[in-house]
Structure 1
Amino acid sequence: MKLIPHNYCLLTCVSPCFLLIVLLMNQSQAAETPNIIYIMADDLGYGDLGCYGQKVIKTPHIDQLAKEGMRFTNHYSGHTVCRPSRLVLLTGIHTGHTPISQNEQYYFPAGATTVTTLLKNFGYATGGVGKWALGPPETTGVPSMQGFDYWFGYLDQGNAHNFYPEFLWSNEQEISLPGNKVGNQKRVSVERETYSHDLLTQEALNFIKVNQKKPFFLQAHYTIPHANNEGGRATGDGMEVPEYGEYADQEWPAPEKGFAAMITRLDRDVGNLVSLLKKLNLEQNTIIFFTSDNGPHQEGMHLVDFFNSNGPLRGYKRDLYEGGIRVPLIVKWPGKIEANSTTDHISAFWDFLPTACELAGINPPQNIDGISYLPTLLGESQTAHDSLFWKYRGKIALRSGKWKAVQTGKEKPLELYDLDKDEGEHHNIADKHPTVTAHMKQMIIESQSPR
């Protein structure tokens, strides 16, 4: 329901008929306010889904989202690593203006404005599961102090890379998982092991059931298929998963069986979520976003090239070439978004906050970098970005239209690519286009200028 205006008391002076009209209008608007579900995988590559060209790993439910919705081909993560990417997503501000631009410790201050606080203040029920990374226990950055009615999962991102943790968090309450290992010790009982991803899905589904009668925002920031670099469940590799499933008999290295099984398990649970929406008659009024926090990893003994995880793109996680930051984005909203549609609209994580605000009928903050892509979703004309910007340690990247500039280190020259002709960034043409290169350098400076 929409919040009652502060001047509601003035209406008591007018006729009952007018009051009834106002209340009916508010109810009608609330009925059209969509539920918003934002699913984000961890280290899933542009080429890891069937609908983006994957030939081996099975992702039928996510592929079905694309068949029933819109697939973006030029969507970018907030960053090439975890924490700053999530920070960008929640604030609508790119890394030229955020407090951090790498995986350093950071937590939200009290009173921060995020997509979650905006939706909560407007009357949405707000819930999240998975990896948080933006506020450890006993800080102002914990989810319950940043707009979440309910949070279940990991708070510290370092712990999130263990899929059999000793505990998870329900808001600020530590939930013990006694069957899981303690440090490097043997687990108490195989039968009592808890795979964290399965528990996250259970809590996400329960949040939908509990809040089905009012508009809700669910942030499902899963940890699959991130690696556990300390070694996995049974084989010693870093891709932890309870079983390899349909990939068990493949003549692949164990890490690749685990990697494929993790993605297919995630796909299964996307299907479970959609099935629940249908069962509760919520599908028509729910918009689902599916994406990844950055490009594919090459960790835990998994090799990017084994399944062609970055597709046609160069680079992977921790790079600012396309493979490190261009990610899948699929959006489904029955009856509103054209089924089986594709867009080449250039967008990024910092666009989600204004998009969510427009969906809810909220005025977004003025001092952000994002532009709502709701017009694109609805098949309407769309305002475009002049440029998109990223930085990571000494690396910098900027995209403006077809042009992409990349600097791989502070002392390295600026590289220039024409993505219309060279999507894989194979041919540096900076010396052939000095005017364009100079303009890109100036935009890089402006992208980091104080507000």
Structure 2
Amino acid sequence: MNAFVGFVRCLGFTPLVLLMAIAPTAAATPDRPNIVFIMADDLGYGELGCYGQEKIRTPNLDRLASEGMRFTQHYTGAPVCAPARCVLMTGQHLAHAQVRGNRVSGNGRIFPGQWPLNEGTVTIASVLKKSGYVTGAFGKWGLGPSNTSGSPIKQGFDRFYGYNCQSNAHSYYPAFLDNNEREVRINKYPIPGHDRKPTGDINAEDYEAENYAPDLILEEAVKFIDKHKDEPFFLYLPFVEPHVAMQPPKAWVDQYPAAWDEENGPYRGDNGYLPHPRPRAAYAAMISDLDEHVGTILKRLEDHQLSEKTLIVFTSDNGPTHGRTNPKFHVGGAACTFFNSTGGLRGFKGSCFEGGIRIPCIVKWPGRVQANSVSDMPSYFPDWFTTLSAVANIDLQNESSLSGISLDGLNLVPELTSQGTPERPSPMIWEFPQYGGIVAIREGKWKAIRRNLLQKKVGDWELYDLDADRAEQHDLAAANPEIVKRLETAYLNTRTIEPDFPLPLYDKVVR
């Protein structure tokens, strides 16, 4: 050993530096816990038992809620996939975000991936990695292909396995998944995510292949926990269920009543994605399968005695999928009306009404978050960058990589730990230049929304009192023009123009 130390000194290093280099990283502690952030895809506010669902079984998530805090007014960053993930990763709301809608990168690959995050973007993963966390993402990324600046490996993650592109994620039996920055073949005979069968029998087995992608993703996530159990880690799990196409395991479908599907019969693919003989049972099965995957993660943490040293967040990227041509079914045959997937809220995915953006959110943090507690505080995705940094004891004021960057979120730790509800200094904002063009602003009980901003006939502002009217049935804009004007001014004063996602009506406004 002495000879080796002498050799190291010859290289210009001190023994202390040597020991720091070879010493194992300290394990997570209650004051610097592991962080597991689980995000479902298109899971509605009312689709879990702990949020009032009466038909679909979600025992693991219901247990998670009983052991932690359930948020009743938590919001996504955007009403569709890619921009919601951008807001989550960067801590900037949609009036500041780089990615404000779903848009392909257009680089010519078969699955090109979505519009990439810029080089040098500061993500929550990069900040946690810099502070000593091992970072891994397993599931659906959607913020740029591997050969661009938006790759998860270039945006702060040490390890990625799953669907880089959301188009590839339309099938649960795809040709390949992304393993770090390489595509790996998983099915010799993959199943495309879209098909129609106007007549004849529909067999679910016709839309299955050898390897079910969610199981492979889960397996890699478990390996990550096993490998890094003795050091602090950030595990990001953007699972793909219950996004259509519906291809759930038959074992779960068979656990739900056949009578459910007698009324509408099979789904033939006429609202997009794949047919299924039992669409209501299949939709419930996707959510139960998701719940089972969450249970596997919780069990693995328990096996390694990590539960007491881990903060767990569970949420969704946006509301449940919307309707389409055939009124019996939602997109992909989803049974969102049958299951009251929005829990009585107005609107679905793609809408900035509550059903499109209010989502389930559960947080477990043993010793810090009171079991079986409920928070009615309005919160949303920009808050997680600030909150997770605080959980990891990172001082963002002195974080050099954030110089010149304005974060839009609150630190939720005081709310989580019952130390007091923090006051939000500025409104919550959504700017969405798709689905006709939408802007929504929430301040306290008031929510203003303006639709059809990209249409020839632009919609008027609407205003709702969410304390009295959570279903947004009574427009109070005409009676409260001063509130509407105040909220619009607050939005315009903070927004930046993003040329890749134009909103011409407001891009012309000079501030």
Give the TM-score of the pair, scaled to structure 2.
0.78
Matching of residues 180-329 of structure 1 within 5 Å: 180-181=189-190, 183=192, 193-228=210-245, 239-243=246-250, 244-247=253-256, 249-252=258-261, 253=265, 254-298=278-322, 299-329=331-361
Cα offset, 1:11, TM superposition? 13
Cα offset, 1:163, TM superposition? 0.7
8 Å CA contact retained: 2:383, 2:410? yes
Give me the whole-angstrom Cα distance separating, in 1, the residues matched to 2:340 and 2:30: 43
Cα offset, 1:382, TM superposition? 3.1
User: Which runs of no fewer than 5 residues in structure 1 stay unpaired?
Assistant: 1-8, 13-25, 229-238
8 Å CA contact retained: 1:126, 1:149? yes
Residue type of the alignment partner of 1:258: A
Aligned counterpart, 1:39: 38
8 Å CA contact retained: 1:389, 1:447? no
Give me the whole-angstrom Cα distance separating, in 1, the residues matched to 2:305 and 2:174: 35
Aligned counterpart, 2:273: none
8 Å CA contact retained: 2:74, 2:378? yes
Residue type of the alignment partner of 2:45: Y
Q: Residues 284, 250 of structure 1: CA spacing in aligned structure 2 closer, same or farther, 3 A cutoff?
A: farther
Q: Residues 262, 349 of structure 1: CA spacing in aligned structure 2 closer, same or farther, 3 A cutoff?
A: same
2:174 pairs with 1:134: no
Residue type of the alignment partner of 2:40: A
Aligned counterpart, 1:21: none
Matched residue SS, 1:263: helix
Cα offset, 1:190, TM superposition? 9.0
Partner of residue 123 from structure 1, selected from 120, 132, 138? 132
Aligned counterpart, 2:413: 374
Residue type of the alignment partner of 2:36: I
User: Which runs of no fewer than 5 residues in structure 2 stay unpaired?
Assistant: 1-12, 17-24, 105-114, 196-202, 266-277, 323-330, 397-401, 498-510
8 Å CA contact retained: 1:161, 1:223? no
Most deviating of 381-390 and 219-228: 381-390
Q: C-alpha offsets along residues 182-203 of structure 1, whole Å, 9 cap, x if unaligned?
A: 6589999999611111111111
Residue type of the alignment partner of 1:214: E
Partner of residue 417 from structure 1, selected from 464, 467, 478? 464
Q: C-alpha offsets along residues 264-283 of structure 1, whole Å, 9 cap, x if unaligned?
A: 01111111111111111000
Aligned counterpart, 1:87: 86
RMSD in angstroms over aligned alpha carbons?
Answer: 2.5
Give me the whole-angstrom Cα distance separating, in 1, the residues matched to 2:207 and 2:74: 41
Matched residue SS, 2:173: coil
Give me the whole-angstrom Cα distance separating, in 1, the residues matched to 2:222 and 2:37: 13
Q: Residues 337, 177 of structure 1: CA spacing in aligned structure 2 closer, same or farther, 3 A cutoff?
A: same
The alignment-based identity, stated in percent, is: 41
Matching of residues 51-130 of structure 1 within 5 Å: 51-105=50-104, 106-130=115-139
8 Å CA contact retained: 1:83, 1:134? yes
Aligned counterpart, 2:429: 389
Q: Residues 248, 188 of structure 1: CA spacing in aligned structure 2 closer, same or farther, 3 A cutoff?
A: closer
Aligned counterpart, 1:408: 451
Partner of residue 426 from structure 1, selected from 473, 479, 485? 473
Q: C-alpha offsets along residues 293-346 of structure 1, whole Å, 9 cap, x if unaligned?
A: 001103102242110000021001000101000001100011110000001111
Give the TM-score of the pair, scaled to structure 1.
0.88
Aligned counterpart, 1:357: 389
Q: Residues 427, 51 of structure 1: CA spacing in aligned structure 2 closer, same or farther, 3 A cutoff?
A: same
Residue type of the alignment partner of 2:176: F
Cα offset, 1:446, TM superposition? 2.0
Cα offset, 1:351, TM superposition? 0.6
